[in-house]
Amino acid sequence: MKVNPEDLARLLSVQGDDSAVDSLKHKVSTLPIHATIAALKQRRTEVADRLTASQTELGDVELAAERAEADVVPVRERLIRNQARVDAGAMDPKALSNAIDEIAHLKQRISDLEDTQLEAMDVLEMTSAQVASLGEEVKEVEAELHAAVDARDAEVGQLASQARGFQATRAQTASAIAPEVLTLYEKIRARSGGVGVARLEGRRCSGCGLEATVTDFNRYTAAPPDELLRCSECDRILVRRAL
Ligand SMILES: [Zn+2]
C-alpha cells in the first residue's frame, strides 16, 4: 500500500491520542474510590440491618416493661384490701393469721415484680440508646457515602474532560489521513491491544518489541518513503525514524 509520509506522522499522533484515551479509561475503571464506595455500601447495609434488629428488640422490651408494670397493679390492690381488713380488726385469729401470711406473700410478690420492672427499664434504656447510636451511625455512613460518590463523580468528570480533549485533537488529525490508511490502522489497533502503528527504533519495533531480522531491516530501510511498511513480526504499521 502506498502512503503519504505525512499521514504516517499523523497516524503516530492519532495513536498517541488513542493510547492516552485508553489509559484514561483504564484509570477511570480502576480508581481506588470505587472500592471505598463499595465498602461504604456494604457498611451501610450492615449498620441498617443492626438498626432494624435493635428496633425490633426495642419493641419487645417495651412490651415486657409494660407487662411488668401492669402485673404489679392487681397485686398492690389486693395488698391494700387485705391490709384494710386486718386494720379493721374483727377477724378471728385463724383468718387474721391467714391474712397476715398473705400480706407477707403479696409484699414479696410486689418486690419481685418491681425488680422485674426495674430490670425491664434498664434493658429498655440500653436498647433505646443502642437504637439512637445505630441511627446516628447510619447517618454518618450515608454522609460518607455521599461524599465518596461526589468525589468519584468529580474524579471521573475530570478524567472524562481530559479524554474529550484528546478525542478532539484525534478527530482533527484523523480527518486529514487517507481513509484507507486510517481504516487499516483502526483494524490493526482493534486486534493488537490498542496499538496499530509502531516506530522502528534502531532495529526494534516499538509495537512488539522484537528486533527485525537483517533481511527485514534491509527491506524496511530500502523501501521508498511512500511505501506503507508493516512489521514482519506483529503486522503493525511501521514508521521509520526519519519520519
Ligand atoms: Zn512489531
Position 176 scores a pLDDT of 98
pTM of the model: 0.77
Rounded to the nearest angstrom, the distance between the alpha carbon of 163 and the centre of ligand 1 is: 27
Please say whether the dihedral angle defined by the alpha carbons of residues 233, 223, 11 and 186, taken in this order, is positive or negative: negative
Instruction: Report CA(236)–ligand 1 centroid distance (Å).
Output: 6
- Residue that the C-alpha cell 484514561 belongs to: 24
What integer pLDDT is reported at residue 243 of this predicted model? 45
pLDDT of residue 7: 97
Sheet holding 197-201, edge to edge: 204-205, 197-201, 237-240, 229-230
The pLDDT value recorded for residue 242 is: 59
* Domains in the chain, CATH or no CATH each: 5-21+178-240 (no CATH), 31-174 (1.10.287.1700)
Measured in Å, residue 207 CA sits from the centre of ligand 1 at 5
Calculate how far, in angstroms, residue 200's C-alpha sits from the geometric centre of ligand 1: 8
Mean pLDDT in consecutive groups of 10 residues from the start of the chain, 243 residues: 95 98 98 98 98 96 90 95 89 90 95 92 94 97 98 98 98 98 98 97 96 96 95 97 59
